[in-house]
Structure 1
Amino acid sequence: MNLARKTMNAPALAAVYEHAWRPTLFYLASGRTTGTDRREAVDRLRLSGPMKVLDLACGPGNFTEYLSTYLTRGGFVTGLDYSPAMLAKAATDNASPRVGYVRGDARTLPFADGTFDAVCCFGALYLIPDPLTATREMIRVLKPGGRIAISTSYRENNLFGSASSMAASLSGLRLFDRDTFPKLFVRAGLTEVDQRVHRFMQYVDATKPL
């Protein structure tokens, strides 16, 4: 396990992740606040009614619980993460009748095809081993007509981008270029593919056609 993944599995990080670690690092990386990201996630996933939602790599569950507040009776958000420390924090701080947490591997999701109306992964694919396999798994468990949304790292296709990738790789982080996820979505048959870049972060969403 590389340094980045060891850090994310540490109980000490789980305790401060959503209050200090994530807001600070993501603001530096994207110029966006956690509140902005959450509100945009709701819009991009088109959350409403009794939808079933998967929040992949949910961490301590702050996004997970927030998303659930936009669902009506019968709606449910499943947060999946690999870290026991993060899941323990989620169960303590972000429990809700419309939220449940599961430990699992993003590369082999423990759900049937077409289980969820919306699937998301915010700020984690650059940590997951074989992130493209994980993304294909997200598409697999998404229902036809459903929405997928991700945010992940971004690098320009130039010397600075190459240097940034090399530096990030020393700790186990990956930086993705502009084409990686839009092309993956298109090849998987998704439509309405949209990408927005903010500094070192990219936000990509799409629809699985009926």
Structure 2
Amino acid sequence: MNLARRTMNAPALAAVYEKAWRPTLFYLASGRTTAADRRDAVTALHLDGSKKILDIACGPGNFTKYLSNALSGDGYAIGLDYSEPMLARAITDNSGPRVGYLRGDARRLPFADGTFDAVCCFGALYLIPDPIAATREMIRVLAPGGRIALTTSHRADTPFGHASRIVGGWSGLRVFTTDIFPKLFAENGLVGIDQQVHRLLQYVSATRPQ
């Protein structure tokens, strides 16, 4: 397990992740606040009513719980993560009537094809050992008409971008080029692909056709 993944599995990090660690790092990387990210996530995923959401690599569940607040009726959100300390924190801090948590591997999701109306992964693909396999799994479990959204690292074709790839490789963080996820979405038949780049992060969303 590389340095980045060992860090994410540390109980001490789970305790402070959403209160200090993530807001600080994401603001430095993108110039965006957690509150703005959460609001945009609800918009990007077209959340309302009785939709079923899967939040990949949910960490301590702050996004998962927030997304569940946009639902009603039979709607629910499932947060999936591999880290036991993160899931323990999620259950303690972010339980609710429309949210649940599950330990699992993003590369082999334990769900049938087309199970969810919305699938997301915010700020974690660069930690997953095979992020392309995990993204294909996200697409597989997405229902026709459903929305997918992800936030991950971005490497511009500049000297600074190439330096970030080297530093990321040393720590175990992958740094992705601009075209990899839009291309992967298109190859898997998704439409309405939208990509926004904010400093060192890229936000990509799309729809699975009916």
Alignment TM class, shorter chain as reference: over 0.9
Percent identity over the alignment is: 70
The answer to whether 1:163 aligns with 2:163 is yes
Note the C-alpha offset of 1:160: 1.8
The answer to whether 1:117 aligns with 2:99 is no
Note the C-alpha offset of 1:56: 0.3
Please name the residue that 1:49 is paired with. 49
Structure 1 residue ranges (4+ consecutive) displaced by more than 4 angstroms after TM superposition: none
Please name the residue that 2:181 is paired with. 181
| 1:187-198 superposed matches below 5 A | 187-198=187-198
CA distance in 2, matches of 1:190, 1:167: 32
CA distance in 2, matches of 1:65, 1:164: 32
Deviations 1:86-110 (A, max 9, x none): 0000000000010010000000000
CA distance in 2, matches of 1:53, 1:175: 26
State the superposition RMSD in angstroms. 0.5
CA distance in 2, matches of 1:51, 1:126: 27
Please name the residue that 1:71 is paired with. 71
User: Which amino acid is 2:208 matched to?
Assistant: K
Aligned residue for 2:182, secondary structure, equals helix
CA distance in 2, matches of 1:164, 1:42: 30
Deviations 1:147-180 (A, max 9, x none): 0000000010122211110011111001001000
CA distance in 1, matches of 2:191, 2:80: 25
Note the C-alpha offset of 1:111: 0.4
Give the number of aligned pairs: 210
The answer to whether 1:81 aligns with 2:81 is yes
The two structures have a TM-score, normalised by structure 1, of: 0.99
CA distance in 2, matches of 1:103, 1:161: 34
Please name the residue that 1:40 is paired with. 40
Gaps of 5+ in 1: none
CA distance in 2, matches of 1:28, 1:163: 17
Note the C-alpha offset of 1:81: 0.1
| 1:123-138 superposed matches below 5 A | 123-138=123-138
Gaps of 5+ in 2: none
Aligned residue for 2:165, secondary structure, equals helix
Please name the residue that 1:139 is paired with. 139
